Structure 1
Amino acid sequence: MATSQSTTSRATPAQTEARTAILTTLRTLGTTHHDTHTQQLAHDLHANSAAIAKQEAALASHTAALAKESAACEREVARMTEGLKGFGDLQHWVEVLEREFCVLEETLRLAEGGGGEGEGESASGGSRWREEER
């Protein structure tokens, strides 16, 4: 520092003025660059904030539409499940009727005086009285 003060004290007024002008220019350039960069960042933040707000609104709208579609799908699944339950009940009812018809068929075969077991049945598993009706 002592050298710089001795240099400054020996400098002419023109040199001192030039030195002051250069230092002021350097400070201004540095500050201007940082200010411009900071202003650009702030501008970008505001622009991105607006874009994000639009995207949030679109996302909320799409989410509501998806929720509505999901509810419709759930109702359809519930309706189909009930239909399948009904089909299962129908299948069970048919099986019960089939067993009852087999018992009735066997009772009729015995009542007609049919012989031993299997004697009244044809090779296809049906009874003789069915074939006689045809």
Structure 2
Amino acid sequence: MASTATSSTTVDSESSRAQTEARAAVLASLESAGSGYDTQYQSRAADLHSNAASITRQEAEVRRQTAALAKETAKWQTEAVKATKGLNEFGDLQTWAETMERDFLVLEETLRLAEGGEEFESASGGSRWR
């Protein structure tokens, strides 16, 4: 029976060695199959990190340009307010001039009637009163 115990130990030893080799072969196969994906994902990760740095620089540039645009917009807004005020003043001046012209026409008509209705040329440039 000693030979049976020895052969049993040898079989267990060979079985254990075969399992170890099979396990190593399966792991090597999985590692080999995964290395293609690993390389691809490592490349993508490197691209992502590179792009993140580029995006950070672009964000800083956009912030800088936005601040410059806000400053320029404020300057143009000030100019627009000045122009609007000038146009309003011009409108007020036009209204004043029209009021003055009407007053002069009324005064001319009053003078004409006071002098007896004689015909004379208007001082405001154009119409002749009869």
TM-score by length of 1: 0.68
Q: Over residues 45-78 of structure 1, what are the superposed CA-to-partner deviations in whole Å (9 max), with x where a residue is unaligned?
A: 1111001101101111111111111111111110
Q: Aligned match of 1:113 in 108, 113, 116? A: 116
Partner of 1:6: none
Partner of 2:46: 43
Identity %: 45
Structure 2 distance, partners of 1:106, 1:27, is 112
Partner of 1:29: 32
Counterpart of 2:57, as a letter, is K
Q: Aligned match of 1:74 in 77, 98, 106? A: 77
Aligned residue for 1:31, secondary structure, equals helix
Shift, 1:18, TM fit: 8.7
Partner of 1:126: 128
Unaligned regions of 5+ residues in structure 1, if any?
Answer: 1-8, 10-15, 129-134
RMSD across aligned positions (CA): 2.8
Structure 1 distance, partners of 2:27, 2:76, is 72
Partner of 1:88: 91
Unaligned regions of 5+ residues in structure 2, if any?
Answer: 1-10, 12-17
Question: Which stretches of structure 1, 4 residues or longer, exceed 3 Å deviation after superposition?
Answer: 16-25
Shift, 1:19, TM fit: 6.6
Partner of 1:60: 63
Structure 2 distance, partners of 1:91, 1:46, is 66
Aligned residue for 1:113, secondary structure, equals coil
Structure 2 distance, partners of 1:107, 1:27, is 114
Counterpart of 1:58, as a letter, is E
Shift, 1:109, TM fit: 0.8
